[in-house]
């Protein structure tokens, strides 16, 4: 049973490629895929690209061309939930598209044809991801993660935490505090308590639902989706998020 590991950004993928045994690079649909073994188990490492359409194409290729049995997404996200801080980790329990709006034909956020707005992640895979994330953050290496930003990350009062809950995807980089507040508030008023925003996960969750493949996702919080969201983003991805992804996914593959 082959596991697909999707990353949004090349930096995140390359930290995992280094650990592959029998690596084999293949191009398909204009994307690079890496086949090999991680912790002795067959994997395909894939780049999702940025945004929902690119991610859906990658996810579809992973099923149709590579026959993967399950998918795990690793990447970064903007924290919008209360207490979801830079350097924390969010494991998605469900996904929603925050920019889906076919109202008044369908209720706001409902995906037409699916009679739902939320797509559930696989509980067993998510539990493994949470366990691996907690183990990493508790380790000496995990404690170093944020410090490697050399003080660029605002000091948080608490140690990094793992959160589990709803993540929202949309084709927008949310980078205004007012927008983040509005997005969270309108969703909350409809009973959707969102922890974080990103740009791909809900698309992959929908493709996995279509093909009956289990899906789980782990996101490192790179920003608070506010007016400074873009400032340290590249440095954060390079120095912190790649390290989180590498260690959490290696721990996950070991327990699979
Ligand atoms: N990924 C990381 N931060 C994000 C943000 N603020 N908005 C959307 N996607 C993100």
Prior bond of 42 cis (ω within 30°): no
Residue 74 in contact with residue 6, Cβ under 8 Å? Answer: yes
CA-CA distance, 72 to 148, in Å (whole number)?
A: 26
* pLDDT 10s digits, 206-250: 999 999 999 999 999 999 999 988 887 888 888 888 999 999 999
**pTM value?**
0.94
User: Between β-strands 3-7 and 70-79, what pairing exists: parallel, antiparallel or unpaired?
Assistant: parallel
What is the set of active-site residues? 12, 223
From 168, 199, 235, mutation site for ligand 1 pocket: most ligand atoms within 8 A of C-beta: 199
Q: Which domains does the chain have, with CATH numbers?
A: 3-255 (3.40.50.1580)
Residue 104: pLDDT over 90 = yes
Q: How high is the mean pLDDT of the chain?
A: 93
Terminal alpha carbon distance of the chain: 11
| 154 has a pLDDT exceeding 80 | no
8 A C-beta contact, residue 63 and residue 153: no
Tally: H helices and E strands in the chain = 8, 10
- pLDDT, residue 149, reads 56
Burial (CB count <10 Å: 0-12, 13-18, 19+), residue 172: middle
232 close to ligand 1 (CB < 6 Angstrom): no
The 8-class DSSP code of residue 118 comes to -
């Amino acid at each position: 049973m082959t596991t697909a590991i999707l990353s949004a950004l090349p930096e995140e993928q390359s930290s995992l490629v280094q650990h592959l045994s029998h690596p084999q690079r293949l191009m398909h649909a204009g994307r690079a895929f890496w086949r090999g073994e991680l912790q002795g188990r067959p994997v395909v490492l894939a780049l999702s690209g940025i945004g929902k359409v690119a991610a859906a194409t990658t996810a579809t290729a992973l099923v149709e061309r590579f026959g993967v049995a399950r998918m795990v997404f690793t990447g970064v996200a903007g924290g919008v939930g209360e207490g979801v801080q830079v350097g924390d980790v969010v494991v998605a329990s469900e996904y929603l598209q925050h920019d889906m709006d076919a109202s008044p034909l369908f209720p706001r956020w409902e995906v037409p044809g699916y009679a739902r707005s939320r797509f559930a992640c696989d509980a067993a895979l998510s539990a493994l991801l949470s366990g691996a994330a907690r183990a990493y953050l508790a380790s000496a290496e995990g404690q170093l993660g944020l410090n490697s930003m050399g003080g660029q990350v605002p000091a948080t009062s608490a140690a990094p935490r793992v959160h589990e809950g709803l993540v929202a995807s949309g084709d927008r980089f949310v980078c205004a505090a007012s927008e983040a507040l509005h997005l969270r508030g309108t969703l909350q008023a409809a009973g959707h308590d969102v922890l974080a925003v990103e740009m791909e996960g809900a698309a992959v969750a929908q493709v996995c639902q279509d093909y009956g493949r289990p899906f789980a996702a782990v996101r490192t919080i790179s920003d608070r989706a506010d007016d400074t969201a873009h400032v340290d983003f590249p440095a954060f991805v390079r120095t912190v998020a790649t390290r989180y992804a590498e260690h959490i996914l290696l721990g996950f593959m070991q327990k699979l």
